[in-house]
């Protein structure tokens, strides 16, 4: 069965300006690369979504934050200065450089895509829908950071809980950075199992996502952080899926899976220090596809991150190919450096897995 891929040209406006690490040209290059690598036909269908409404945004953000964000980035795009205290609402990594794109409008489109992805999967139009540009997991209720304005991952979870009355949602974050914003939304929530596989927070932004952070209140045990050691590669990720993610997910029995994360676990990303080759990105997609058999194949997949421009289209396609079970080979674009031939992080990952089991064994039978 074909998958739906939500993407439109206006996503290119999610651009913080020349010299900033996050540029919008990825949303032009990837669709062209995808079409050139694999025809739509029975493989996928590219679909355009509408932007989120004000009501949609109020599900995840405060009104004052939305108003400041809208007006500040509108002024920045026009080369104007907007009065107001930027640091009250955003971190400096969200500060545009020079003349940015229409960032806030594109961010609304990302949330609109998240809503449409949930609707399409729940209606049975597609088992799996990918939102290109999604996964803005650092944004919080009233504070934007980490290149993220509105958290579409959190929107998926809250929308599925409130609109569709789902009771068990698995949110799986495979971005190299911990999803600190998403974590805050669901830290006290037992209906959302949040599993976050990311680089050791002692070595990377945002400095959260330690193994002992397991949720609180009724959500205690429903946040699972897997901080991967520097250089963790293919074998490490396979171990984490097989030792933690898969058994816990089978015990939880989710009704849908929401996954987010792009190419930044790649071994030469530029902003991160993990060790996945392209086949490792495909492994993530394959593991999610297999896991989705629990919930009749239902997956909303959100892809935006990655900072190696040459690798990004190949890595995104590897993720999607694994998820959709596309039958074609994805070759490594660059020779794998000698230090990554073996998994340098495996021993450290084994220790992390044991630590996670120790912290969570009282909450999950499968981890005892």
Structure tokens at 198: 């990311």
Strand order in the sheet with 299-303: 44-47, 3-6, 128-132, 299-303, 256-260, 169-173, 192-199, 223-228
Q: What pLDDT, on a 0 to 100 scale, did the predictor assign at position 139? A: 98
Q: What pLDDT, on a 0 to 100 scale, did the predictor assign at position 83? A: 87
- Report the Cα 350 to chain-centroid distance in Å: 24
At 273 the three-state DSSP class reads: coil
Please state whether beta strands 169-173 and 256-260 pair in parallel, antiparallel, or not at all (unpaired).
Answer: parallel
Q: What pLDDT, on a 0 to 100 scale, did the predictor assign at position 258? A: 99
Within 10 A of 336 (CB to CB), how many other CB atoms are there? 15
Q: Print pLDDT tens along the chain (368 aa).
A: 799 999 999 999 999 999 999 999 999 999 999 999 999 988 999 999 999 999 999 999 999 999 999 999 999 999 998 988 999 999 999 999 999 999 999 999 999 999 999 999 999 999 999 999 999 999 999 999 999 999 999 999 999 999 999 999 999 999 999 999 999 999 999 999 999 999 999 999 999 999 999 999 999 999 999 999 999 999 999 999 999 999 999 999 999 999 999 999 999 999 999 999 999 999 999 999 999 999 999 999 999 999 999 999 999 999 999 999 998 888 888 888 888 888 999 999 999 999 999 999 999 999 99
Q: What pLDDT, on a 0 to 100 scale, did the predictor assign at position 329? A: 85
pTM: 0.97
Structure tokens at 211: 């193994």
- Residue 223: strand pairing partners: 194
Alpha helix (H) residue ranges in the chain: 26-37, 54-58, 63-77, 86-89, 103-123, 152-162, 180-186, 234-240, 246-252, 278-291, 312-324, 346-360
Exposed, middle or buried, 191 (CB in 10 Å: 0-12/13-18/19+)? middle
φ and ψ at 47, to 5 degrees? -130, 140
Q: Are 248 and 364 in contact (CB under 8 A)?
A: yes
Tell me how far apart the terminal alpha carbons of the chain are, to the nearest angstrom: 38
Q: How far apart are CA 32 and CA 76, in angstroms?
A: 29
Question: Into how many domains does the chain fold?
Answer: 1
Residue of 336, 233, 304 lying closest to 21 (CA atoms): 304
Q: Identify the CATH number of the domain in which residue 13 sits.
A: 3.40.800.20
Q: Are 211 and 240 in contact (CB under 8 A)?
A: no
The residue with tokens 């569709």 is 164
Range of the domain at 312: 3-367
Within 10 A of 17 (CB to CB), how many other CB atoms are there? 18
């Amino acid at each position: 069965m074909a998958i739906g891929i939500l993407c439109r040209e206006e996503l290119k406006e999610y651009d913080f300006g020349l010299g900033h690490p996050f540029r919008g040209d990825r949303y032009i290059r990837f669709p062209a690369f995808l079409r050139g690598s694999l025809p739509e036909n029975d493989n996928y269908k590219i679909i355009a979504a509408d932007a989120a409404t004000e009501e949609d945004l109020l599900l995840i953000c405060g009104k004052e934050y939305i108003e400041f964000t809208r007006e500040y980035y509108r002024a920045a795009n026009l080369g104007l200065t907007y009065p107001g205290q930027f640091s009250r609402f955003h971190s400096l990594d969200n500060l545009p450089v020079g003349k940015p794109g229409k960032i806030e409008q594109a961010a609304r489109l990302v949330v609109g895509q998240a809503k449409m992805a949930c609707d399409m999967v729940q209606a049975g139009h597609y088992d799996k829908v990918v939102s290109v540009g999604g996964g803005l997991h650092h944004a919080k209720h009233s504070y934007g950071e980490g290149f993220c304005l509105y958290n579409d991952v959190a929107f998926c979870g809250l929308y599925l809980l409130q609109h569709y009355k789902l009771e068990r949602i698995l949110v799986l974050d495979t971005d190299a950075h911990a999803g600190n914003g998403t974590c805050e939304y669901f830290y006290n929530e037992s209906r959302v199992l949040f599993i976050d596989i990311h680089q050791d927070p002692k070595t990377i932004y945002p400095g959260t996502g330690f193994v002992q952070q397991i949720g609180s209140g009724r959500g205690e045990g429903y946040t699972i952080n897997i901080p991967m050691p520097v250089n963790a590669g293919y074998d490490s990720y396979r171990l984490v899926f097989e030792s933690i993610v898969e058994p816990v997910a089978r015990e939880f029995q989710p009704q849908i899976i929401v996954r987010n994360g792009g190419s930044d676990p790649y071994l030469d990303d530029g902003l991160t220090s993990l060790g996945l080759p392209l086949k490792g990105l495909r492994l993530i997609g394959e593991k999610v596809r297999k896991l989705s058999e629990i919930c009749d194949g239902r997956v909303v997949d959100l892809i935006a991150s990655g900072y190696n421009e040459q690798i990004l289209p190949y890595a995104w396609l590897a993720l999607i190919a694994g998820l959709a079970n596309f039958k074609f080979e994805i070759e490594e674009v660059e020779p794998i450096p000698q230090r990554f031939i073996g998994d340098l992080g495996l021993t450290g990952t084994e220790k992390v897995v044991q630590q996670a089991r120790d912290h969570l064994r009282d909450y999950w039978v499968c981890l005892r």
